[in-house]
Structure 1
Amino acid sequence: MYGVSVEEGGGAGHEARRCVLSKDRFPETTGGDKTTILFDLENQPGALVKVLSLFSSRGLNATMLQSRPSRLDPGAGLWEYTFIAEYLGHIRDQGLAEAYAEVEAGLGTLCKRIRLLGSYPRSSMGEND
């Protein structure tokens, strides 16, 4: 896989995830890609639903959503979170690009920060991996 040889197998039923690094931030689309986005919400009712609906209204499938304590503003307290979302598709795909641009345009209204972490080929381990 990716020109890397397997030195030792993990045995039956064991799977391992590998990270593929690239100098190109957004490699060419493969037709089977994922995109990971990080964002910090403004503290207002429904902000998370509003952001996620910008993606779902374009038929984009979220395969992962995680929250982590935010370190964006150290004085914000314990209840501010950074969200990491993973979507099927490439940032160069029209729907994903439009949704990202709309969230980005809402900086200061919906989000304090949005950052595109990258687009990359999906794993071949499973349908949603």
Structure 2
Amino acid sequence: MHRIAFFGPEGTFTEQAARSLSGGEAAAELVPYETIAGAMAAVRGGETSAACVPVENSVEGPVTATLDELAEDEPLVAVAEALLPIHFTVLARHDLAAADVRTVASHPHALAQVRGWLSANLPAARQVATASTAAAALAVQSGEYDAAVAAPVAAEHYDLAAIATDVADVEDARTRFLLLQRPGRLPEPTGCDRTSVVAAAANRTGALSELLTELAFRGINLTRLDARPIKGGFGEYRFFIDFEGHVAEPRIGDALAALRRRCAVRFLGSHPRADGVPASIQPAAGNEDFVNATDWVESVRRGDTA
């Protein structure tokens, strides 16, 4: 049985994602780590074969801890992803009514996603940020806080009562999670894939535009673009770029080679998209077009045709 690290403790949305990505609870041992960095370090150190971590939320945007860890230290690559709807359960001690809640704890991203609900339903409660939604539930169980905004799975792990379920200010809020492994054999292309890279572009006019133009010239559609500062280089940034397609495809390989010619690039993975959306192929930008063009150039070099 292989082991999968996840951003814990037990009872987080990341645990739910890890369950789905592991193929079921019996298929792998899920090991909680207190931080995203800790979960990823477990893979790098060989303690686990993979790590499940959040990478972006449709309301709060990128999970910067994940992005920074992907850009630094030994490389890890994403081999799968999960997309979870984010609706929360508000947990409290069994002897406490909602009207008596004076403190409510959760991860900052979670608090931001239920700000309206808290204002309407627990207006007297002081909001407290914790390291994770599960850490908040654990703190409530120990008597540190009155209530926690947590993932539904937390109710399985902690002896608390649900005072509200299916809580969300944005009904279709979702978080995307990655399954990370050390570099090795990649998943086969499916036609509904996502490739991710991080590029350290030069700090000069037009540098980012040049990178994006390489993708646009090849008809490749972006699905995400984020910038993060480079430590020790004020005003210098890394760009995290997700786009449709798989590195095994000629058009994607051609684009990656072009990006690499322009700047330092770290490959972060190619894997099937959780939403199953197929890549949009522009006219004259299909894989067969790239293969035919390369074959034509080779024939010219051989002198077979003009």
Pair 1:98 & 2:254 matched: yes
TM-score of the two chains, using structure 2 as the length reference? 0.34
**Cross-structure match for 2:24:** 4
8 A contact 2:225–2:242 mirrored in 1? yes
Cα deviation for residue 16 of structure 1 reads 4.8
Q: Secondary structure at the match of 1:29?
A: coil
Shift in alpha-carbon separation, 1:4–1:17, aligned structure 2, 3 A: farther
8 A contact 1:90–1:119 mirrored in 2? yes
Cα deviation for residue 96 of structure 1 reads 1.2
Amino acid at match of 1:98: D
Shift in alpha-carbon separation, 1:87–1:4, aligned structure 2, 3 A: same
Relative contact order, CA 8 A, sep 6+: which one is greater? 1
Q: Secondary structure at the match of 2:252?
A: helix
**Which structure is larger by alpha-carbon Rg, 1 or 2?**
2
Shift in alpha-carbon separation, 1:114–1:63, aligned structure 2, 3 A: same
Which one of 159, 172, 179 corresponds to residue 20 of structure 1? 179
Cα deviation for residue 121 of structure 1 reads 0.8
1:1-129 alignment runs, 5 A limit = 1-2=20-21, 3-4=23-24, 8=153, 11=166, 15-22=174-181, 24-71=184-231, 74=232, 76=233, 78-106=234-262, 111=263, 113-124=264-275
Gaps of 5+ in 2: 1-19, 26-151, 154-164, 280-306
Across the aligned residues of Structure 1 and Structure 2, the Cα RMSD in angstroms comes to 2.9
Q: Distance in 1 between matches of 2:251 and 2:196?
A: 15
Q: Distance in 2 between matches of 1:127 and 1:102?
A: 23
Cα deviation for residue 18 of structure 1 reads 3.4
Amino acid at match of 1:86: D
Q: Distance in 2 between matches of 1:18 and 1:42?
A: 30
Cα deviation for residue 127 of structure 1 reads 7.8
Q: Secondary structure at the match of 2:211?
A: helix
TM-score of the two chains, using structure 1 as the length reference? 0.76
Q: Distance in 1 between matches of 2:190 and 2:178?
A: 17
Gaps of 5+ in 1: none
Cα deviation for residue 126 of structure 1 reads 6.9
Pick which of 56-65 and 119-128 moved more.
Answer: 119-128
- Residues 8-63 of structure 1: per-residue CA shift (max 9 Å, x gap): 4x859564533334564521111110000101111221111011100111000001
Higher helix share: 2
Q: Distance in 2 between matches of 1:125 and 1:89?
A: 12
Paired residues in the alignment total: 118
Q: Secondary structure at the match of 2:247?
A: coil
Cα deviation for residue 66 of structure 1 reads 0.0
Q: Distance in 1 between matches of 2:252 and 2:277?
A: 22
Q: Distance in 1 between matches of 2:274 and 2:174?
A: 11
Amino acid at match of 1:18: F
Shift in alpha-carbon separation, 1:98–1:127, aligned structure 2, 3 A: closer
Shift in alpha-carbon separation, 1:121–1:83, aligned structure 2, 3 A: same
Q: Distance in 2 between matches of 1:50 and 1:96?
A: 16
Q: Secondary structure at the match of 1:36?
A: strand
8 A contact 1:61–1:87 mirrored in 2? yes
8 A contact 2:197–2:268 mirrored in 1? yes
Quote the sequence identity (%): 31
